[in-house]
A and B are shown apart, each in its own frame.
Chain A
């Protein structure tokens, strides 16, 4: 418990740093939300200077930066994410309906990638330098090399080209319309999982190769244990630590991947919301989403830290 509390305390300055970085970053990049509201994202709207000044005042973007930052952080401390600058709606209301789609995609992709990557990596290690190992290494290397948006576009292209099929438009949640939801998330999930499994498989392979050379594996074999028990109970369990370490990082990568994948497959999740918010320079919304991602990633790291202590009790006493 003390260990967890210690980790939690460490996260406070990290969160603060994230708030400062995202706040400043948005103010540094060119663009003005008032301008975008008046001119439209396509720049077609007409307005005069007075309109612009008035709107900046209404939005509060004309105030000094430290005042804007202070107001935002004060709101956060009171559990208020604020209001979208562009649409003037509560941010909670904007993010709420988007969360299930992104979490569903990220969690499913994580599950699929682990289920496929760990056996693939383990087999590759066990059958080192075999045809299977070469095949798996080529597959994973290619997977790591191909950017996720390319994979996404290729999947869309192939679905239409080969099957004249595109996922149904208009996202449906799993509990509303399970069949539609399944059709909508299957291919984005597989694309994301492909993006992630290669990395996890390579980590699993190298961790397994290391463990398989350990004395205790040799001992287990010499005791006459069947190979499956050696691999699953002795080798894989001891190789799990680096795999779990990367899985927290995987979640961060997957959340990043959802941004582009949601856009390609038209899934209305947090990723598309973030992209739209960036296009509209919706500062408050961008800040809230990035902060949310940061909290999710930190929480995943915390879970991993706790798992460490369970898998390797020595960590608790270190």
Chain B
């Protein structure tokens, strides 16, 4: 094991585990087990290789540079290596939260207060010290009311305020003890930005103005094409990063991207622009040179109506459409058999139904005829006999990925199974999202890639008061349980509540027609090595993006 990284990681793990166990949150956070796993890791990697220039493929060029304004992976992929977080997910054990700027932390007041102790001698690129003032300022900036905070705003329900206790200690007050807080806090958007720069009125949303502290510094930007970073020689983690230079390149054309990978110009792909079929083919063609790593499901997609509009106020109608949706056909058409069934909660996760269970339920089971009859009966009961009485419906479909194809397939299913006419209205992504946000749609199709596997992310965003509840569904019973589970620190009790919530969605009412769960992938050169051996995919695409933990073996 690399000495510097190992000693640093060991220190963080022990304190983290002890502290968490001490506060009784360990079970709910799942950190105890994660930490033990990490502690017993036996890195298989040889001595690290320093130097080299690696290229990482991203699906888009960042639209913004202020990490607190970032809303998608294109932004974090380029910005994350420039800054640090207080805590981060452990690259060697992706489910574990470890310190980044924090050396350790204490949880007090039954989980209502977190005190983070920071590394000393951390410097911004301009030579100023990174202190607790910067950290407190950044946390308060993340939750600043009235400001667009696409991802860091996830902290708003949890964090009340943050304050610097001394030069290297920060206290964070929570609104309620939450098992999800620390995980949200470890997502790569939650960057500490320089207080002195922001307060001086410098726009850190311009790349030229960035003053970071991270493992890499800005070398150059070619708009629309690439972001080139170089090693920060004064990085506070000794021995990191391993690479001298890192380029995050944007290639939107699949053919060009595949060609560049085949020619060995790219060492790692982040999700997109390549599809499942593309990477499976590349994996076959490049056997022995590249390895394909799959992430657990993190992105659920669904059709949804605006339940504030007729006829969708009657949720029996959407249930009928859900029953008539042929999930098996969707599975066969997309994802080369890698995607999972569309379900309210991630299938086979600790709080979601198992795939085998789902396959026995109405809407999922075969043969389909029974469910189609049930769907027609529901529509008849709702006053739509024949179903065509619903009239022509309009499905707003953002042009992204294979959504237009999926929308067409579903429209065909509805025509075939219920005789419904659904017009697929294609719009660009932002226009679609604007229509969904404003409630200016009849039916829509979209999805959400969560930041952390904790249900507080997915369930809150989609079914709760979160930003992705486009159907505008409000079920008091469900919302009560959502709040209960969020505050429940006992994992078993929490799971029990979540199972009841999914049962309600599966049997009583659900505003969505889930169509699939996607899983992302990383195609990585076999030259890439980490302290834990080969590359390890993080739990979600929004984590472990600082790229400080891997190097390139010389070929």
Contacts and interface: CB of A to CB of B under 8 A. Distances in A.
Q: Which residue, A52, A94, A160, has most C-beta atoms of chain B within 10 A?
A: A160
Given A39-B429, A273-B224, A266 B256 contact: yes
B295 interface: no
A240 B427 CA distance: 49
Contacts of A164: 262-264
Contact of B430 (A36, A50, A51, A171): A36
A39 B433 contact: yes
B55 interface: yes
A42 B226 contact: no
A97 B220 CA distance: 12
A142 B428 CA distance: 35
B202 interface: no
B255 A157 contact: yes
B251 interface: yes
B437 to A, nearest CB: 7
Interface in A162-207: 164-166, 168-171
B434 interface: yes
A44 B434 CA distance: 11
B222 A171 contact: yes
A46 B148 CA distance: 7
Interface string A24-45: 0000001110011111111111
Nearest to A276: B224
B187 to A, nearest CB: 14
A88 B72 contact: no
Contacts of B263: 159-160, 164-166
A93 to B, nearest CB: 10
Given A30-B431, A47-B148, A41 B60 contact: yes
A169 B265 contact: yes
Interface string A258-281: 000001111010001101100010
A35 B430 contact: yes
B224 A153 contact: no
Nearest to B438: A49
Interface residues of A, number: 49
Q: Which residue, A45, A87, A272, has most C-beta atoms of chain B within 10 A?
A: A45
A89 interface: yes
A268 B63 contact: no
A48 interface: yes
Contacts of B431: 30-32, 35
Interface string B347-389: 0000000000000000000000000000000000000000000
B459 interface: no
A314 B46 CA distance: 80
A171 B260 CA distance: 14
B251 A266 contact: yes
Interface string B418-431: 00000000011111
Interface in B217-264: 222-226, 228, 247, 249, 251-253, 255-256, 259-260, 262-264
A166 B71 contact: no
A43 B224 contact: no
B72 A44 contact: yes
Given A45-B71, A87-B206, A268-B226, 16 more contacts: A35-B434, A39-B430, A43-B430, A46-B148, A46-B150, A49-B437, A49-B438, A88-B206, A160-B259, A168-B265, A169-B249, A170-B228, A264-B256, A265-B256, A266-B225, A268-B223
Interface of B: 55, 59-61, 63-64, 71-72, 74-75, 146, 148, 150, 153, 203, 205-206, 222-226, 228, 247, 249, 251-253, 255-256, 259-260, 262-266, 398, 400, 427-434, 437-438, 446, 449, 467-468
Which 4 A-B pairs give the minimum distances between C-beta atoms? Answer: A43-B429, A45-B71, A166-B263, A276-B224
Interface of A: 30-32, 35-52, 86-89, 94, 97, 153, 156-157, 159-160, 164-166, 168-171, 263-266, 268, 272-273, 275-276, 280
22 contacts: A31-B430, A39-B71, A41-B429, A43-B432, A43-B446, A48-B148, A87-B206, A87-B223, A89-B206, A94-B223, A153-B256, A160-B259, A164-B263, A165-B263, A166-B262, A169-B266, A264-B256, A266-B260, A268-B222, A268-B223, A273-B224, A276-B224
